[in-house]
Amino acid sequence: MEISIDSQFERQLLPLAEAEQAMLAQSLISEGCREPLIVWKNAGKQTLVDGHNRFGICKKHGISYDVAFKEFSSREEVSDWIDRNQVGRRNVSPSDFKILSGRIYNRAKNSDGVRGGGLKKLGQVDRAFSTVREQVASDLGVSDGTIKRNAKRADLYDRLVAAGENEAAQATKELSDDGISKAHKVPFTEAAKLALQTKQAHVAQNSGQNEWYTPAEIIQAARNVMGTIDLDPASCEQANKTVGAACIYTAQDTGLDKEWAGRVWMNPPYAQPLVSQFAEKLCDSLNEKVVEAIVLVNNATETKWFATMAAKASAVCFPNGRVKFLDQNGNPGAPLQGQAVLYFGPFVRAFGKEFQRFGVCWNRQNFSREAK
């Protein structure tokens, strides 16, 4: 019997990034489909429950796959299993967790056993919601308040997806809690516009454009570790007044096609594909011409470019709170994501000593074993 796709179940799946989709396809083509697709047999149909991306790729490339059947008592139970299965994956991002956990609570509070369970008075309903929320929060290891906030975000996300407003739905992941509350108070079409406007502001603030400069105390700490800064490959004249690198490359004379050497400070553009290209360039230059480097980037631990740099880093500092970058007038502004400072070189003890005042530092060896 042919496997069928249920549009409601498919909409529940949080989409893969383009790079993730490409990596999955490459893995399936080279290694085959190693995990079975999860299928629900019901009402004479075989409905796909898990493995939609693998199923599509396998059909396109003629790759064989196995099927595992799982029993469910209702569509609601299927939906809950899909979301809880996604929450349980190791690579679930914090923003995706907000959507999934909020959705799990929304489904639970709207179940027949809660909303339709003979609770006539508002107080009874409120107490029932609170009990369900506490149970979901306990299951997922977060606070009751977190689940309550995530529920609003998930509700807006799912309504936008159902309306075909996929770009706006993705943008809700970047809205602040206040932004989500505002979006719930305006007409639905205005909520979509609000989410998109916020996304544009987020990209501008996290894109690594030269109008945002690294605070002097971080630059000084980097200089204390390396002794000097020979090159800043992603800079401008204004930024270099603080960095003081002997050589800089700007957006006009991009450093991606030039030689990197010496001791490098880098706060690369944070937008794709530039951040990946700068990360790859640095890693390729290490142990050849670049003898030391310190890099300030978003702590995007779920990305391939961050994992590539972290695998080669000698030490990493995760600052307490978000770094307050400076605008052209010296006014601070915190981006919407936390940062990480990665060190490449032999003097990890010096790095830990300088950067521990900014946050938690990690290194490959005990600091006491280092030469400096």
Domain ranges within the chain, ordered by starting residue: 1-87, 93-206, 216-369
Segment 337-362 mean pLDDT: 92
pLDDT for position 330: 54
**Helix, strand counts (H, E) of the chain:** 15, 13
Give Cα 225 to chain centroid, integer Å: 30
Give Cα 172 to chain centroid, integer Å: 13
If residue 343 lies in a helix (H) or strand (E), which one and from where to where? strand 339-344
3-state secondary structure of 41: strand
Segment 134-153 mean pLDDT: 89
Average pLDDT, rounded, for the chain: 84
CATH top-level class of 216-369: alpha beta
For residues 191 and 189, give the distance between their C-alpha atoms in angstroms, rounded to a whole number: 5
What distance separates the 2 farthest-apart alpha carbons in the chain? 75
Question: Over 90: is that where the pLDDT of 196 sits?
Answer: no
Segment 242-258 mean pLDDT: 87
pLDDT for position 327: 55
If residue 122 lies in a helix (H) or strand (E), which one and from where to where? helix 122-140
On whether the CB atoms of residues 320 and 230 are closer than 8 A, the answer is no
Q: Report pLDDT digits (tens) over 151-190.
A: 999 999 999 998 888 888 888 887 888 888 888 888 888 8
Q: Report pLDDT digits (tens) over 197-236.
A: 765 544 444 444 434 678 899 999 999 999 999 999 998 8
- In the sheet with 262-266, reading across from the earlier edge strand, the strands are 247-248, 231-232, 262-266, 290-298, 339-344, 315-319, 359-363
- Cross-strand pairs, 263: 292
CATH tag for 1-87 (out of 3.40.50.11540, 1.10.1510.10, 2.40.160.40, 3.90.1530.30): 3.90.1530.30
Q: At what angle do helices 188-206 and 144-162 cross, to 10 degrees?
A: 110
Please check whether the two domains, 1-87 and 216-369, share a CATH topology: no
